[in-house]
């Protein structure tokens, strides 16, 4: 009984405390469905950090600094422009036009829209700024802007210089301009010889397509640089010979290519032209041009006798220089009998062509042969454009004859 009483008292005390604290017992009631429109709007999540507005480096400039390389992709193809090679995507195409020693080319994308222009030129020494201005004025008019968003110059291991500029010809578009050349003593001045320039027009590209176009540009130009550097490594370019020459014509050609002063007065010389080439000649000479299947020939006459032949043409196949020399001797000088090479000269012009000159003695009859081709190896003739001179001379008046033939070659235009 006592235990039951204590339990009863504890229950009573607990009930009394509950009444004092004011606790309410939850009574289950049926729930009501609240319509979605009755819900209060959820407050927006805090906004993220504001985007930075710092200028980033152009992706084309980044890859240029890293070093452009040609593609390692079977979906690209190799195109030949003159003696140079580049690679383009398989769906792209090239149109090229030759003007003398120079080539203009255009690259079209898969939609047959103009993607870029290429210029493979043989030039005198130029300041680089002159080249930029000349290209912009030629393509877009004299009043077109040559302002640049950026520009960068890189010296390559081969001795070549690559120059990249983002031209602002039009404010809303990018016009990447690239020049590849051998520098003179200053990096922004070209050495006489080959200069290659690229201009790409990206007005129709935006966003990811623009970035893809820039990647294609880097690979196109990179493929050209790869080939040029391989040629520089593989081919030893012959330096101008420093030995003393004994023949007057050989000496004059040596001096001419070294840009030394030569005392030749051509003020009263006659300007003559064939279908594909022309030159100046002494008034004592006569000339007759004619075409063969593979080249054009100018027969040089003096007092009714043909004393020389000048050949200008183009060949697709290389040949040995010695073989070409022997063929010319056999075809045009065979009647003079045996001969001895009494002097010779080999020199490189602009790292893309060579001149070989031979002085031959046919038992007292002096003859000179000069060979020019677009080969970089003096022992190889061709492929590409060429000229050849076969000229008889009077050994008793060798100085005048040497001046005549040297002047003709110095003024040759083809």
Reference 58, options 181, 213, 203, 220; nearest CA is 213
* Parts of the chain belonging to CATH 3.40.1000.10: 248-410
Q: pLDDT tens digit string along 357-375?
A: 999 999 889 999 999 998 8
Residue 291 scores a pLDDT above 80 = yes
How many CA atoms lie less than 13 Å away from 294 in the CB half-sphere?
8
Distance of CA 115 to the CA centre of its chain: 16
* Terminal CA-CA length for the chain: 137
229: left (phi over 0), alpha (psi -120 to 50) or beta: alpha
pLDDT interval class at 3 (50, 70, 90): very low
Q: What is the CATH number of domain 59-234?
A: 3.40.1000
- 402 neighbors 266 (Cβ within 8 angstroms): no
How many CA atoms lie less than 13 Å away from 36 in the CB half-sphere?
0
Q: What is the CATH number of domain 248-410?
A: 3.40.1000.10
- 342 neighbors 251 (Cβ within 8 angstroms): no
Q: pLDDT tens digit string along 169-195?
A: 988 788 999 999 989 889 999 987 789
Q: pLDDT tens digit string along 33-85?
A: 334 334 344 455 455 555 555 667 789 999 999 999 999 888 999 998 877 88
**What does the pLDDT read at residue 53?**
57
- 89 neighbors 177 (Cβ within 8 angstroms): no
Give the dihedral of Cα atoms 70, 71, 72, 78; nearest 10 deg: -80
Q: How far is the C-alpha of 102 from the C-alpha of 374, rounded, in Å?
A: 12
Report the range of poorest mean pLDDT among 18-32, 89-103, 303-317.
18-32
Task: State phi, psi for 138 to the nearest 5 degrees.
Answer: -70, -40
Q: How far is the C-alpha of 169 from the C-alpha of 215, rounded, in Å?
A: 21
**What does the pLDDT read at residue 37?**
37
Residue 111 scores a pLDDT above 60 = yes
193-226 exposure pattern, b = at least 16 Cβ within 10 A, e = fewer: bbbbbbbbbbeebeeeebeebbebbbbbbbbbbb
When pLDDT is averaged across residues 112-117 and rounded to a whole number, the result is 94
**Token pair for 299:** 């027969």
**What does the pLDDT read at residue 49?**
54
């Amino acid at each position: 009984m006592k235990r039951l009483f204590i339990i009863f008292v504890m229950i009573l005390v607990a009930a009394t405390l509950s009444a004092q604290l004011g606790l309410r017992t939850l009574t289950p009631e049926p729930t009501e469905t609240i319509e979605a429109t009755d819900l209060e709007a959820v407050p927006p999540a805090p906004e993220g950090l504001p985007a930075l507005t710092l200028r980033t480096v152009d992706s084309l400039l980044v890859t240029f600094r890293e070093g452009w390389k040609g593609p390692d992709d079977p979906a690209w193809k190799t195109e030949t422009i003159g003696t140079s090679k580049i690679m383009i995507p398989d769906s792209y195409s090239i149109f090229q036009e030759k003007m003398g020693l120079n080539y203009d080319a255009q690259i079209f994308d898969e939609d047959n829209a103009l993607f870029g222009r290429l210029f493979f030129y043989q030039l005198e020494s130029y300041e680089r700024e002159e080249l930029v201005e000349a290209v912009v004025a030629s393509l877009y008019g004299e009043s077109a802007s040559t302002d640049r968003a950026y520009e960068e110059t890189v010296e390559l291991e081969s001795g070549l210089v690559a120059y990249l500029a983002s031209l602002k010809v039009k404010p809303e578009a990018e016009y990447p301009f690239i020049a590849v050349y051998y520098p003179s003593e200053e990096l922004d001045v070209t050495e006489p010889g080959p200069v290659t320039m690229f201009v790409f027009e990206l007005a129709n590209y935006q966003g990811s397509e623009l970035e893809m176009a820039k990647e294609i540009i880097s690979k196109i130009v990179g493929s050209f640089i790869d080939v040029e550097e391989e040629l520089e490594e593989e081919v030893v370019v012959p330096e101008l010979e420093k030995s003393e020459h004994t023949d007057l014509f050989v000496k004059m050609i040596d001096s001419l290519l070294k840009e030394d002063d030569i005392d030749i007065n051509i003020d009263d010389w006659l300007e003559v032209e064939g279908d594909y080439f022309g030159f100046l000649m002494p008034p004592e000479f006569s000339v007759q041009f004619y075409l063969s299947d593979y080249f054009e020939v100018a027969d040089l006459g003096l007092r009714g006798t043909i004393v020389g032949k000048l050949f200008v043409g183009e060949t697709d196949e290389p040949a040995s220089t010695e073989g070409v020399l022997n063929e010319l001797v056999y075809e045009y000088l065979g009647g003079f009998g045996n001969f001895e090479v009494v002097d010779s000269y080999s020199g490189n012009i602009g790292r893309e062509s060579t001149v070989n000159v031979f002085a031959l003695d046919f038992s007292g009859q002096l003859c000179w042969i000069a060979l020019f081709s677009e080969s970089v190896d003096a022992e190889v003739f061709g492929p590409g454009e060429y000229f050849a001179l076969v000229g008889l001379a009077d050994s008793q008046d060798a100085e005048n004859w040497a001046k005549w033939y040297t002047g003709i070659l110095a003024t040759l235009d083809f």
